[in-house]
Amino acid sequence: MAQNRVVRSSREISGVKDFVGSEWDAGYVPFSAAHRRCRITVRKDSEKLWTVYAVASKGDIKLASWEILQFPCETCAKAFALDLVFGDGYASCIVHNRDGFHEGDTFAGRVAMLCCLMGIDKATYNSLQVGSTHRISWVARLISDGQLTWQHAIRAWEFAENFASQRGLSLDSAVSTFYAEAVKVEVRR
């Protein structure tokens, strides 16, 4: 893990206050993916509210987007976004240190990122069977714990997506296939 970086506000860095609607990019996951990836951004949605978003694309096609979490603090939002992209403990807020969010928030953010990469929006996710949401969460946990890479999860989903479409299977069946494919390969310890 990289050394904890302290995030500063836009005003502190550039001397200019962000305007409502301005966005800041934290980065893409996975880093080396050119075809299917998830972009994490922070947008100033009001004078006192910053929102972290995940937006996934496959080439030029938008797959899904999620509003992950809202913050009353710009630097907490940016530190949280950087932690999603680079790993837990990567960054902290200059004002609140790491007290503005917790491990459960970053895990939920990674579930959202994984769903975006799978092309599953929040409404569709909420309509999945409980077993499917648990399978997606388990794969996100393996990624968070460093036992699975984003690239491996994407390959497993692409396999499951093709398998399900060829056989006319439901999304829940595709998620089951995804889970089986993701965890069948040797998990790093």
The 10s digit of each residue's pLDDT in 100-115 is 788 889 999 999 999 9
Which of the four pLDDT bands, split at 50, 70 and 90, describes residue 125? very high
Of 99, 119, 139, which marks where a domain is finished? 119
Q: 172: exposed, middle or buried (C-beta count within 10 Å: 0-12, 13-18, 19+)?
A: middle
In whole angstroms, what is the distance from residue 178 CA to residue 160 CA? 5
Q: Which residues pair with 29 in a beta bridge?
A: 38
- Helices 150-167 and 130-144 pack at an angle, to 10 degrees, of 150
Q: Do 175 and 103 sit in the same domain of this protein?
A: no
Of 6-10, 58-62, 73-77, which range is least confident?
Answer: 6-10
In whole angstroms, what is the distance from residue 22 CA to residue 184 CA? 42
pLDDT score, position 188: 52
Q: Do 136 and 106 sit in the same domain of this protein?
A: no
Q: Do 77 and 141 sit in the same domain of this protein?
A: no
Q: 8-17, 21-30, 58-67, 86-95 — which one is most confidently predicted on average?
A: 58-67
Output the pTM of the full model: 0.87
**Domain of 147?**
128-189
